[in-house]
Structure 1
Amino acid sequence: MTDPFVDDDAASVEATVPPFAPFSAEDAVEGEVVRRRGIYLLPNLLTTGALFAGFYAILSAMNGKFSTAAVAIFVAMVFDGLDGRVARLTNTQSAFGVQYDSLSDMVSFGVAPAVVSYAWMLNQLGKLGWAAAFIYASCAALRLARFNVQVGSADTRFFLGLASPAAAGVVAGIVWCGQDLEPSGGIALTVCLMTAAAGLLMVTNFRYHSMKSVDFRGRVPFIVIVAAVIGAALVVIDPPRVLLAIFFVYALSGPGLWLWRRYRRGLAARGESA
């Protein structure tokens, strides 16, 4: 006897679909049964590593291990930098990977830095502290959403707005460098302003070099290798301060280049009118 409350077509579709198979939004809307595609292991495994590092940073901050939390955010950056390049080098890019990477970035570079910064110092400011943390997290979400809709149409040589990993590098670097500081109103206010500023830079229209045009498989001048070795040595000598300096300078490069271009245009306009 047929059960009037059971949709036979839906039941047959459910029976043909593996319970953990990824599916697209089109499949769900149109109700069509299509051949299910698997996901590429290596790049998505690296993305999972970044997600775990961000999750671990949150747990560490909740337990008062702020240095460990900051390091975990930087570890997430390493995984995040590798997954996209590995996908391109192995020709394993996919729409699933793009969306998964974006969700991982929201946890590792949006929520985690905000939570770590708040648990470390911003809680001293009460509502102002959590407002700054929320500004950072919400700006990271907006930045990632804007990036997703611009995939395939934007100039890959530049980011529009500070990338979320770079903003997270600023916040994590501040926490790592100041882990031994005694909480005070002045320090908390400074951290508050820098956290909010890092968040707001993510949603500006300042252009930042993406470094995606660098060809790691091609030939480079010898001086590039020397500079890379020197940079690595400096990071090893004093990781917190060197990493903070790198990301802080990069964060300032967007408005700095904007001001420089505006200055050059002003000089050109005055030269034409003379």
Structure 2
Amino acid sequence: MIGFYNYSVILTYLSLISSVFGMTQAIHGRFKIAVFCLALSGLCDMFDGKIARSMKNRTEDEKSFGIQIDSLCDVVCFGVFPAMICYLLGVRGPVGLVIIALYCVNSVIRLAYFNVMEMKGALVSEEGEKYYKGLPITSMAVVLPLVFMIQFFVSDFVFVICLHLALLVVGTLFVVNFRFKKPKNSTLAVLVAVVASALCIMLLRTRYRIEFRHGWPWLPWLRKL
């Protein structure tokens, strides 16, 4: 079989599987499960690099393979998947479709740029500290669950506007040329705690208020399966 098979990419594959499953749930209108799957993909992505670096005997080909696999999976997990959720929740019409297209295009541009810079070792400062250029694509795994919580406090119209703004702002920041240090473990722990709290409230304490939004003629039929 072609490819490289070792434990260094297991979490990356699990992240992809979670997002693909989340897509099937979003199509059926089960948005809570879909958002949960997105957050789970983000959690997997948070630690996949650490697991990969723990494998000290990787060849250069295996390292390059890991970089490419990570980016390809990120396109699905944090590019296409969030855009799909937002579309099904109401990001529609000419403006909505332009925003979705911009978000997806910028996510691909960012990942391609990151691959080039990573292979050149250009994302390390003179002090040896790693940093991000632009907003990481995985940020949507934090932003969307928090935005999803807004629906329980505002009208449906305001909620859909928030979805438009979230996609537009986050997608734009993917390619804006600014940099900041990669967060420390303590900061990551806080982010995980915040998102986990939002997910618990969403799953256990609330009901759907956003009705399933029919996007294509076959969706009502598919939902009955």
Does TM, normalized by the shorter one, top 0.5?
A: yes
Q: Does 1:133 align with 2:106?
A: no
Query: Which digits, 9 at most, give the CA deviation of each residue in 1:164-211, with x for residues without a partner?
Result: 001342134312542786532x43233212211110001001213213
Q: Cα–Cα, structure 1 residues 210 and 108, in superposed 2: closer, same or farther, change >3 Å?
A: same
Q: Paired residues, what number?
A: 192
Query: Which digits, 9 at most, give the CA deviation of each residue in 1:201-232, with x for residues without a partner?
Result: 01001213213xx5x7xxxxxxx6xx988877
Structure 1 stretches lacking a partner, 5+ long: 1-19, 23-38, 217-223, 242-274
Q: Distance in 2 between matches of 1:228 and 1:164?
A: 15
1:145 aligns with one of 112, 130, 135: 112
Equivalent residue letter for 1:158: Y
Q: Distance in 2 between matches of 1:228 and 1:109?
A: 18
Name which one, 1 or 2, has greater alpha-carbon Rg: 1
2:164 match: 192
Judge conservation of contact 2:39–2:142 (CA < 8 Å) in 1.
yes
Q: Distance in 2 between matches of 1:147 and 1:230?
A: 25
Judge conservation of contact 1:122–1:130 (CA < 8 Å) in 2.
yes
1:206 match: 178
1:89 match: 54
TM-score normalised over the length of structure 2:
0.74
TM-score normalised over the length of structure 1:
0.62
Displacement, 1:143? Answer: 0.7
Q: Distance in 1 between matches of 2:191 and 2:143?
A: 18
1:158 match: 131
Displacement, 1:84? Answer: 1.0
Whose relative contact order is higher, 1 or 2, with alpha carbons under 8 Å and at least 6 apart? Answer: 2
Q: Distance in 2 between matches of 1:147 and 1:158?
A: 11
Displacement, 1:144? Answer: 0.5
Q: Distance in 2 between matches of 1:105 and 1:234?
A: 22
Q: Cα–Cα, structure 1 residues 88 and 68, in superposed 2: closer, same or farther, change >3 Å?
A: same
Provide the aligned C-alpha RMSD in A: 2.8
Equivalent residue letter for 1:95: S
Query: Which digits, 9 at most, give the CA deviation of each residue in 1:84-115, with x for residues without a partner?
Result: 10111222461111100100000000100111
